[in-house]
Amino acid sequence: MRKGVVCGTVTFERLTSTTEAEFYHEFVANADRDPTGYATLKRVLGEADMQAFKQKWEKFVLGLRSS
């Protein structure tokens, strides 16, 4: 996964409204040190390997088509 600006839809599988709010507050609070939100996202998701997370996320999203 390339580092870049975090998109509005993070994940509805992994993020509860509490975690989503936590991400938003941490993203705003850390914007000067982490302007892309990438490090904050990794911390909030509890995922060190974002490539592995990307693969899990893609599998989940592709599975939505058949639901």
Residue 51 lies in a domain: yes
Q: How many domains does the chain have?
A: 1
pTM over 0.75: no
Residue 2 lies in a domain: no
* Residue 39: partners with Cβ closer than 8 Å, 6 or more residues away: 30
Residue 10 lies in a domain: no
Residue 3 lies in a domain: no
pLDDT tens digits for 17-65?
A: 567 788 889 999 999 999 999 999 899 888 899 998 888 878 877 887 7
Residue 9 lies in a domain: no
Q: Indicate if the pLDDT at residue 9 is higher than 70.
A: no
pLDDT at 12: 54
Q: Which domain holds residue 47?
A: 17-64
Q: Indicate if the pLDDT at residue 6 is higher than 50.
A: no
Residue 1 lies in a domain: no
Note whether 19 and 25 are within 8 A (CB): no
Note whether 27 and 37 are within 8 A (CB): yes
Which of 59 and 1 is assigned the larger pLDDT? 59
Q: How far apart are CA 5 and CA 17, in angstroms?
A: 21
